[in-house]
Structure 1
Amino acid sequence: MPYRQEPIVDDSNLLRQLGDTLRTHREQNGKSQDALANDSGLHRTYVGAVERGERNPTYLTLVKYARGLGMTVTDLVTGL
């Protein structure tokens, strides 16, 4: 059986796309990073780093982020 090479995934681009999507949802909800951090139990600098695509959030972080916006994780990441 020939070796099947997996497609190359640009992780940094995916994280930037996720961050852009999260920022859009936060802004649509009229929240600052500080307000979202307070509502979600995340640190404000971490929220900013995720939105800039500098951090790779875990599922639990996405759950906290979504709850802070009154959304589900599915709604938060739909369209990525």
Structure 2
Amino acid sequence: MRHISRGTNKFCGSCCSDFALEAARSTAEDALLGQTVIRATPDAYATFLARLDAPPQPNEHLHKIMQSTLPWKVK
């Protein structure tokens, strides 16, 4: 890993600590940008969790999907 970092440092013209800081900053930024914040009241959040935990209600579309042949098993 060090030889890759040193090669990148020479190419970019930065020292090892600058390179490491920039890599850490970039990774942290990517992680934060990948987040979605949803604001909800405690009651709305509890309702949301209850719906996630509840089993799906039977319906025709769900039944059709569950009865269909799996795409990777089609001959």
Q: TM-score under structure 1 normalisation?
A: 0.27
Which structure has the bigger radius of gyration? 2
Q: TM-score under structure 2 normalisation?
A: 0.29
Whose helix proportion is higher, 1 or 2?
2
